[in-house]
Amino acid sequence: MTSTEMRERTPAAPARRRRRRPSGRRLAPYVFVLPFVALFLAFSVYPLIYTFRLSFTAWSGSGPARWVGWDNYTYLLGSDAFWSSLGNSAVLWLLIVPVQVVVALIAAVLLNNAKLRMRGFYRTVALVPFVTPLVAMAQIWIVVFDSDYGAVNRLLGAVGLPEIDWLTSTVWAKPTLALLFLWKTTGFAIVILLSGLQSIPASVYEAAELDGASRTRQLVSITVLLVRRVVLFLVVMQTLAVFQMFAEPYVVTAGGPYGSTTTAGLYLYEHLGRSDLGTGSANSFLLVALVMLVSLLFVRLLRERD
């Protein structure tokens, strides 16, 4: 081999090394996300699979689990208490989500107005209930809406109106819980909608004003249409929250009176309290399927609107 051929071949090794370096850089992102993937698999995917398998067994938390097949699901689907809990959650959804979307949208539009003074203060006030511990607010709700000594009944009596059994009446217990949920989470809804409003270009409203559109027309034809995806996200999130509602009825009414405030989340807890983990697991998956169907329905409606 001549010296010329040797000089031509010697740079080949560094070239090969240079070609190998990008492969290490391609692996770097996967190395960084590996801790998250490991934690997600260990604490989310594996418990989900284990719970699904547990839903086909009868297990009290100790000893071997006994395989029962679809018995847990057939028991729940034939249980009046299960359907009653879903009905209570559905009524609470009707009392909460439509009202919250309308109130939060109006409040977000007002807070998005650049001419409004002290906007930062009002936004902070709206978020205070959301960051307040739920149990503390529930205890306040018990005191305020007490049938005998509550402040609300005192005010009703002062203006000559009859007192109401807010927490001990099957008619008023659900609205009282819905009011607590609205007070607690409407600040979160305002922030979500406010972020969507701030993404709308100001030029759109300026063009509408030049065309002579009123504020109401702008709200209906521009604001609502351009934030409909944000509204859909809020509806899905609040649907999940309502059907998982547990702390509010557990602390305020304990599911009463006569089971009228036993929500789907509280009914699931009752299975766990009786150490009936197999039926509780089946209950949780039925709730997941129900909420998934409702969410897909909302997405389908949005696509049809688009």
Place of tokens 């560094």: 14
For the chain, give every domain's residue range: 79-305
| pLDDT for the residue numbered 197 | 87
For residues 245 and 118, give the distance between their C-alpha atoms in angstroms, rounded to a whole number: 34
Statement: residue 18 has pLDDT above 60: no
For residues 301 and 306, give the distance between their C-alpha atoms in angstroms, rounded to a whole number: 9
- By three-state DSSP, how is residue 58 classified? strand
For residues 99 and 116, give the distance between their C-alpha atoms in angstroms, rounded to a whole number: 24
Is residue 82 within 8 Å of 76, Cβ to Cβ? yes
Statement: residue 11 has pLDDT above 60: no
pLDDT digits (tens, 9 = 90+) for 116-140: 778 788 888 888 888 889 988 999 9
User: What DSSP state is assigned to residue 169?
Assistant: -
Is residue 264 within 8 Å of 287, Cβ to Cβ? yes
pLDDT band at 3 (very low <50, low <70, confident <90, very high): low
Fold (CATH) for 79-305: MetI-like fold (1.10.3720)
Phi, psi of 58 (to 5 degrees): -110, 115
pLDDT digits (tens, 9 = 90+) for 290-302: 888 888 887 787 7
Is residue 203 within 8 Å of 238, Cβ to Cβ? no
Alpha helices in the chain (DSSP H): 3-9, 12-40, 46-54, 71-77, 80-111, 119-131, 134-144, 151-158, 173-197, 202-210, 215-218, 224-226, 228-243, 247-252, 264-273, 277-305
Would you state the structure tokens that stand for residue 282, as one six-digit string?
Answer: 């089946």
